[in-house]
Amino acid sequence: MKTAHAGVATNLSGDWTMNSISLQIESLLAISTDVGDLVPRNKTLVVDCSGISKIDMSGLQLLYVWQQCLQIRGLQAELVNLSDGMRSTVQQVGLHTIFKSSHDPAVS
Amino acid sequence: MSSDLSQFFQVFFDESTEHLAEMERILLSIDPHAPDEEELHAVFRAAHSIKGGAATFGFGDMAATTHTLESLLDRVRHHELSLTAEMVDAFLEAKDAIAMLLAGHRDKAQVDEEAVESVCSKLRSIEECGHKAAPLPEKAVAQGTGSAAVESEYRIVFTPPPDLFKRGVRVEPLFEELSGLGTLSVTAQVAAPDDFSAYEPEQCYLSWDMTLRSNAGLEELRDIFMFVADEEEIQIEVLEPRLLDEKSYPLTPLIPENSLPTNAAATGVPALESPGRRLYDRDETAPNAFGRRPVDGAESSSIRVGVSKVDQLINQMGELVITQAMLAQAAQQFDPVMYESLHRGMALLQRNTRDLQESVMSIRMMPISFIFSRFPRLVHDLAAKLGKQVELKLVGETTELDKGLIEKLADPLTHLVRNSLDHGIESPEERRQAGKQPSGIITLRAAQTGGRIVIEVIDDGAGLNRSRILQKAFENGLPVSDEMSDEEVWQLIFAPGFSTAEKVTDVSGRGVGMDVVMKNVQAMGGRVAISSESGRGSRVLVSLPLTLAILDGLSVRVGSETFIVPLNSIIESLQPQSGDINTVGGNTTVRVRGDYLPLLRLNGIYSSRP
C-alpha cells in the first residue's frame, strides 16, 4: 500500500536492473545535482520507490551507494513505498540492515 | 538472456550430461531397501548442480523439472520418506525427462512436454502420498557420512568479483536456495567509492557475510555456489556442529582480516584478485572454469579438442608414414656398407614414425565404457518390461578402441544385449524349474587381444535351440542338414529375416537384427562368432580391429598392378607347392592341412594380365 510522506520528495520508476542501470544512474545524478537546492541540510529526501517495476542486485547497490553519497553531503534519503517483491529481495540478500540505517520504516 | 552466455552453454550441456549419467549409474545400483547414504547425497548433488546451472542459463523448464526431482530426493535423503523401487523408477524417468529437455535446448530436439509434466506429476504424487520414513537401516547408519544428519552452524563469506554484474550473473537465487536449507542470516557490505561520480554501475562492490544453521553438508553448500563463484571467492567455515560428526573442518579463520571491509563506506574497492577461472570466463577449458573442482595435482588431466583437429592430425600422420615408407624403399637402392649412416638414419626414422603413429592413434582411442555405460539402464528397463530378473556384469570397461568404432559398435551391441535378455535369459519361474538362480546374469566383457578388440556378450540363459533353428531355417528355404556342426547351425541366425521367436514384440522377434549385427561388424573389419550350450547359456564374440583410421596392409602384385590387402582381413598367408593345387569339377582348389579350399585367381577377378 502506498504511504504518504511529508517533506521533500522525489520518485523513482522503471527498470532498475543491469539492462537499464546506466540510464538510472543518470537520473540519480540529476536528482543529486538538484537536491542540494531543494532539501535543506540535515533534512530528509523522501524517495518514492513505488514506480520501480524491476530491480536486481545492481539496482539495489546503486540506490545504496547513492544514498551513502548523499549522506556524506549531509543529506538523508529515505526509501519508501517499496513493492513487496523489492522489499523481499532487500531482506533476502541482507541489504535491509544497510537501508535500515537510513531510518526508513518501509524497509525495516 | 544475454547472447554472451551462449558460448558457455556447451560446457553446461556437457557437465549436465555427465551429472545425468552419474545419476543414472547410481540409481541403477542403489538398493531401495538399504540405500547408501552417500549415494543418495550424490544423486541429490547431481540434480542440484543441474538445477543451478539451468537456472543460471535461463533454462526454466529444466530448472523446474529438476527442482521437482530434487525436492523428493531431499526428503528421501533426510529420511522423511523411505526409498522405494517405485521412487527409483520415477527418478530414472525424471532423469530421462531432464535429458530430453537438455537435448531440446542443445539440439533443438522436440520435447514431449506432456511426458515431462507426467513425470513431474508422478514425483509430486509420490512426495504427497509418500510412505512414512522407515527406520534407517543399520548399514546406512554405519556408512553415513554424517554430513546431512547433523545440524551445523556455518559462516559463509561470499566475496564476488567486481565484474559479477557485467557478466550477467544473478546471485539472488543463491540466497533463496540457502534459505531453503535452514535458518539463514545475511549481512551485506558495500565497499563503494565516496564520490558518486566515480561509481561504476556495472561493478559489484558487494560482499556478504552469512550465518546458516542447517543439516546440509559442506559439499552441498559448495554446490550451490558451483556455477557462480570460484573456490577462493566463497569461504565456508563450520562454527558449531550440533552433534558429533566424523568429518572435521578447519576452524581457523578462513579469510584474512583485511580482505573484508569492516566499514563499507570508509574502505575502497576491495582487492578481489581471483587467480582461478569462473563462470563465463572465456577460457572454458581452464581447470577451475565453471565452478569445476580443481583437479587433484597441479595440472589439468585433459583438454577438449575438436574431432576434426584430431582427424586432420591423423591424416597428416598417414601421409608421413607413406613418405617414410617411400624414403625407405628408395634408400634400399644404396649400398648398406657405403651408406651406413643413411640406413641407420632410415631405421631410426622408421622407429620414430611408428612411435609417433601409435601416439597419434591413441588420441582417438576411447574407453569402451562409453558404450557399456548405457547397458545398465537398458537391462534394468527391459528386464522389468519382460518380467525377468537380470544382473548385468561389465568387465574390461577401460579397454580402449577407436572413436569411430565406438560409435558404430553401439547399435550391434545393443541388439545383442536385447537378444540375450529377450531370448536367452529365462523367466524366474523357468530358471527355478531348471535348478538355476531366479536372477540371470548377462556379462559384457571387453579385452584387447593382439591387434584386435574382443567383446563378448555372455548370458547364462537357456542357450540356442539347435532343432528349432534348423527347423526354422528349413522353413525359410535355407540349405540345412542334421549333420551340420553346432558352429554352422549358429551361423544360420545371421541370415536375413531369421527369427525363431514365436511372437513379435517391440523387443524382438521380427527377424531383423542379427543379420544387421553381422553386416555392421563386418563393415568395421570385424568378425562375429557364437558358442552356445543348451540350458547353460550363449556367448557371442565380436572381434574388431583396434582402429579404422590407419590400416596396415600386405602389398600383392598381380601382373603389372599392385594391390594392398588390409592385414586385418588376412588370417593366414602361405605359399602352396604345385602339388597342392588341383582342379576339381572345373574349380581350382588348394590343399591346406588336408582340407581343400577354393582358389580364386586375382587376375581372373580383376581381368588383368598375369
Q: Tens digits of per-residue pLDDT, B278-289?
A: 333 333 333 333
Helix (H) or strand (E) holding B584: strand B581-584
Please state, in angstroms and rounded to a whole number, the distance separating the CA atoms of residues A51 and B447.
70
B61-91 tens-digit pLDDT: 888 899 889 888 888 888 888 888 888 989 9
Q: Which residues in A lie closer than 8 A to residue B201 (C-beta atoms)?
A: 21-22, 24-25, 58, 62
Share of chain B above pLDDT 90, in %: 16
Measured between alpha carbons, how far is residue A3 from residues A46, A80, A106, B610 in Å? 11, 8, 9, 107
Highest mean pLDDT among B261-265, B282-286, B460-464: B460-464
Considering only B125-129, B336-340, B427-431, which range has the smallest mean pLDDT? B125-129
Most A CBs within 10 Å, among B155, B199, B204, to test the A interface: B199
Residues 6+ apart with CB under 8 A from B341: none
What are the residue ranges spanned by the domains of chain A? 8-100
Can you tell me whether residue B189 is helix, strand or coil? strand
Measured between alpha carbons, how far is residue B570 from residues A83, B544, B567, B573 in Å? 80, 13, 5, 7
Going by C-alpha positions, the residue among B42, B235, B82, B249 that lies closest to residue B150 is: B249
Looking at domain A8-100, its CATH class is alpha beta
Which cell goes with B252?
A: 581457523
Please report, in angstroms and rounded to a whole number, the separation of the first and last CA atoms in chain B: 72
Give B511 or B80, the one with higher predicted confidence.
B80
B507 pLDDT higher than 70: no
CATH no., domain B152-270: 3.30.70
* Minimum-distance CB partner of B208 among A28, A58, A94: A94
Q: Return the pLDDT at B125.
A: 87
Whether B581 and B588 have beta carbons less than 8 Å apart is answered as: yes
Can you tell me whether residue B65 is helix, strand or coil? helix
Q: How far is B201 from chain A (nearest CA, A)?
A: 7
Considering only B172-181, B284-293, B336-345, B425-434, which range has the smallest mean pLDDT? B284-293
| Beta-strand pair A44-55/A76-80 | parallel
Q: Return the pLDDT at B578.
A: 87
Going by C-alpha positions, the residue among B414, B399, B430 that lies closest to residue B544 is: B399
Check the CA dihedral B286-B290-B295-B297 and report its sign.
positive
pLDDT band at B541 (very low <50, low <70, confident <90, very high): very high
Whether B202 and A18 have beta carbons less than 8 Å apart is answered as: yes
What are the residue ranges spanned by the domains of chain B? 3-141, 152-270, 307-363, 367-545, 553-605
B5 in reach of chain A (CB within 8 A): no
B60 pLDDT higher than 80: yes
Rounded to an integer, what is the distance from CA B551 to the centroid of its chain?
27
Going by C-alpha positions, the residue among B237, B227, B218 that lies closest to residue B145 is: B218
* Minimum-distance CB partner of A68 among B175, B208, B265: B265
Whether B192 and B199 have beta carbons less than 8 Å apart is answered as: yes
Give B431 or B551, the one with higher predicted confidence.
B431
* Minimum-distance CB partner of B196 among A21, A58, A66: A66
Question: Does A58 sit within 8 Å of B192, measured CB to CB?
Answer: no
Considering only B22-31, B55-64, B261-270, B508-517, which range has the smallest mean pLDDT? B261-270
Rg of chain B in Å (alpha carbons):
32
The alpha helices in B436-572, defined as continuous H runs, are 466-475, 486-491, 514-523
Please report, in angstroms and rounded to a whole number, the separation of the first and last CA atoms in chain A: 15
Q: Which residues in B lie closer than 8 A to residue A62 (C-beta atoms)?
A: 199, 201
Whether A54 and A20 have beta carbons less than 8 Å apart is answered as: no
B192 in reach of chain A (CB within 8 A): yes
Give B58 or B529, the one with higher predicted confidence.
B529
Please state, in angstroms and rounded to a whole number, the distance separating the CA atoms of residues B245 and B249.
10
Amino acid symbol at B225: F
Whether A27 and A16 have beta carbons less than 8 Å apart is answered as: no
B319-352 tens-digit pLDDT: 998 899 999 989 999 998 999 999 999 999 999 9
Please state, in angstroms and rounded to a whole number, the distance separating the CA atoms of residues B43 and B60.
21
Most A CBs within 10 Å, among B171, B196, B267, to test the A interface: B196
Question: Does B175 sit within 8 Å of A93, measured CB to CB?
Answer: yes
* Bridge partners, residue B554, by sequence: B565
Residue range B388-393: mean pLDDT, rounded: 92
Query: Domain B367-545 adopts which CATH fold?
Result: Heat Shock Protein 90 (3.30.565)
CB atoms within 10 A of CB B470: 17
Q: Return the pLDDT at A106.
A: 40
Residues 6+ apart with CB under 8 A from B51: B62, B63, B66, B67, B70
Provide the 8-state DSSP code for B424.
Answer: I
Q: Return the pLDDT at B409.
A: 87
Please state, in angstroms and rounded to a whole number, the distance separating the CA atoms of residues B493 and B55.
51
CB atoms within 10 A of CB B568: 21
Give B533 or A75, the one with higher predicted confidence.
B533
B231-257 tens-digit pLDDT: 778 888 887 655 444 443 333 333 333
Most A CBs within 10 Å, among B1, B5, B164, B165, to test the A interface: B165
Phi, psi of B296 (to 5 degrees): -60, 135
| Beta-strand pair B439-449/B389-395 | parallel
Percent of residues in chain B assigned helix, strand, coil, to nearest 5? 45, 20, 35
The model's pTM is 0.49
Whether A90 and A60 have beta carbons less than 8 Å apart is answered as: yes
Question: Does B165 sit within 8 Å of A58, measured CB to CB?
Answer: yes
* Minimum-distance CB partner of A94 among B165, B186, B193: B186
B41 pLDDT higher than 50: yes
Going by C-alpha positions, the residue among B184, B505, B241, B549 that lies closest to residue B366 is: B549
Q: Return the pLDDT at B442.
A: 95
Q: Return the pLDDT at B280.
A: 30
Burial class (CB in 10 A: 0-12, 13-18, 19+), B230: buried
Low-confidence ranges of chain A (pLDDT < 70): 1-8, 36-42, 97-108
B269 in reach of chain A (CB within 8 A): no
Q: Return the pLDDT at B503.
A: 53
B187 in reach of chain A (CB within 8 A): yes
B448 pLDDT higher than 60: yes
Query: Mean pLDDT for chain B?
Result: 78
Can you tell me whether residue B200 is helix, strand or coil? coil
Query: Domain B3-141 adopts which CATH fold?
Result: Four Helix Bundle (Hemerythrin (Met), subunit A) (1.20.120)
Q: Return the pLDDT at B247.
A: 41
Q: Return the pLDDT at B140.
A: 39
Quick one: how many helices (H) and strands (E) in chain A? 4, 3
Query: To which residue does cell 530491480 refer?
Result: A55
